[in-house]
Structure 1
Amino acid sequence: MIKLIASDMDGTLLSSHLDISELNKQAIKTAAENGIEFMVATGRGYSEARPVLNEAGIHCGMITGNGAQIFDEFDNVLHTVSLEKETVKEAMKILEEEDLYYELMTTEGVYSNNEAQRIEKFAILLSENIPHLTFKMAIAMASTQLKMLPVNYTEHYDTLVDDPEVDILKVIAFNEEGAKRFEPALEKLHKLMNVHVTSSGVNNLEINHVDATKGNAVKYIAEKRGISMDEVFTIGDNFNDLPMLEVAGVSFAMGNAEDKVKEVAKYQTDTNVEDGVGKAILRAIEENL
């Protein structure tokens, strides 16, 4: 019997409109009624993840930044794994050499140095997820959505990195051209020490400390709860979800997941627009997976 559920958000728990369906909410409630703890495990930062959950009335723990931070349901920080500052500077240099727009996820929130580019990147995400949405409409939606997601702007990332009071949790780069555009940067980034490079979508590249993975974060929570990994359920759709799918006793891939994710997961469910998370949770309970 499962005792802990860790679900990815984008492309998994969230629909194409970036909200949580009624069936998914009901399944999470059913899990709680059966004594099963639910939490999200996302590449998003705290300030980007919590508003969506609050809007859906879901009060749960969170693994954020791909495992860089863990929060309990009361928003207390339980664990943090940050990047070394010199490593951050080296990664920034590589991304700038390759002319890639990037943002910094920190213990003080998400930082961008270009508001126009941030809106453009979010618009691309929306247009990819919502059929028949024109790019002009996506830009308008992105501007509205981002106003609800706290973000900080700075002219110089170096000042932020040099601040001893701020830890850098993740560096995330974006480009609409996808994987090929990232190849030159990837070759250089893989030479850096103590980094884990992954992605949560075809148009981004995410750089964390080597120990900051969703898999390590889920194991941390399970150990604190006295739960066996055989009693852990994880579900996701993209490459940054692989570490937690590999360590869980019950693992589900979304119907819209990358092929590699489907190969690793033990089970498969429907897509994120077909209540895949809710259906997987109910199946796990009904079949006592």
Structure 2
Amino acid sequence: MIQLIVSDMDGTLLNNKMAISEANQQAIKEAEQQGIKFMVATGRGYTEAVPALKEVGIHCPMITVNGGQIIDEAGNLVENVGIDKNRIRYILDAAREKGLYAEVVMADGVYSDNKVKRVETMTSLLHTTNPDTTFKMALVLALGRLELLNINYINDYEEILTDDRLALKVLVFSNSGQPELQPLRENLDKDKELVVTSSFFNNLEINHVNAQKGIALERVAKKMGIPLENVMAIGDNFNDVSMLEKAGVSFAMGNAEDGVKKVAKYVTATNTHDGVAQAIYRSIHEKL
């Protein structure tokens, strides 16, 4: 019996407009009415993730920053898993050397040193993942969503890499996709204290090796007293694999990477066709 549903956000719970569809909202409500708990597990930081949930009245526990933070339903921090500052500096320097744009997720939010690159990256992502959307419309959507994401813009990352602050993750972007990012990934993969995943075709997400969705999910389920076999997880990309492996019931989105579909037990519809809702209904109405 499913007692906990855990969903990724981007490419999963969120549609091509970066919003939660009415069908997904209703499915979550029906599950909760049956006593099933719902939570999200996202690569986003809390301040990036919570606006889309609040827009539709969803208040739930969260695994954020790929497992770098656990947040309770009231928005209180339960746990942090960070990266030491020297590693952060090394990652940023390595990205700069390759001409790549990077962002840093701190315990208090997401930081960028280049607003133009931030907008350009979001626009390119929306345009590429939504072929029917013109570049101009993608730009409008990007600017609209960025207003909700509470990004902090600074001149130099050294402003935040101080001893009294905790760094959780580095994001590195390439509008050309993974081939341009691969050399950096291979470099960082050599460091056993880091784990490198991706949530979109255009990024790398670098966390501490203990900051993974599956590890965080295991801790959350234990605190809730819920066996992992009674957990359902839904995701679309490689930063979701660790939780799909842990959950007793796992769904890959129809738009998921092929490698992710191979890990999941089931495949649902795409994020633009309410795949989360379909997976939830299957899990609560069928014997999986």
TM-score (norm 2): 0.97
User: Deviation at 1:238?
Assistant: 0.5
* Aligned position for 1:45: 45
* Aligned position for 2:191: 192
Runs of 4+, deviation exceeding 6 Å: none
* Aligned position for 2:249: 250
- Determine helix, strand or coil for the equivalent of 2:195: strand
Partner Cα distance (1:178, 1:115) in 2? 20
* Aligned position for 1:81: 81
* Aligned position for 1:174: 173
User: Deviation at 1:160?
Assistant: 1.1
Aligned 8 A contact 2:214 2:242 in 1 = yes
* Deviations, residues 141-184 of structure 1 (Å, cap 9, x unaligned): 212221121111111112311x2232111100111111110122
* Deviations, residues 82-126 of structure 1 (Å, cap 9, x unaligned): 111111111112111111100000112100000000000010121
1:62 aligns with 2:57: no
Partner Cα distance (2:241, 2:208) in 1? 16
1:202-221 alignment to 2 at 5 Å?
202-221=201-220
Partner Cα distance (2:140, 2:268) in 1? 33
User: Deviation at 1:131?
Assistant: 3.1
TM-score (norm 1): 0.97
Aligned 8 A contact 2:68 2:207 in 1 = yes
Q: 1:195 is aligned with what amino acid?
A: L
- Determine helix, strand or coil for the equivalent of 2:170: strand
User: Deviation at 1:132?
Assistant: 2.2
* Aligned position for 2:107: 107
Aligned 8 A contact 1:87 1:192 in 2 = no
Aligned 8 A contact 2:269 2:278 in 1 = yes
Partner Cα distance (1:31, 1:104) in 2? 35
Q: 2:125 is aligned with what amino acid?
A: L
Partner Cα distance (1:278, 1:133) in 2? 24
User: Deviation at 1:21?
Assistant: 1.1
Unmatched tracts of structure 1, length 5 or more: none
Q: 1:274 is aligned with what amino acid?
A: H
Aligned 8 A contact 1:2 1:288 in 2 = no
* Aligned position for 2:96: 96
Partner Cα distance (1:118, 1:89) in 2? 19
Aligned 8 A contact 1:17 1:129 in 2 = no
Aligned 8 A contact 1:123 1:139 in 2 = yes
* Deviations, residues 255-288 of structure 1 (Å, cap 9, x unaligned): 1111111111011111111111011111111114
Aligned 8 A contact 1:12 1:271 in 2 = yes
* Deviations, residues 198-252 of structure 1 (Å, cap 9, x unaligned): 0001100110000000001110100101111101100001010000001110000
Partner Cα distance (2:17, 2:144) in 1? 13
Partner Cα distance (1:122, 1:35) in 2? 37
Partner Cα distance (1:28, 1:87) in 2? 39
Unmatched tracts of structure 2, length 5 or more: none
1:145-160 alignment to 2 at 5 Å?
145-160=145-160
* Aligned position for 1:124: 124
Q: 2:13 is aligned with what amino acid?
A: L
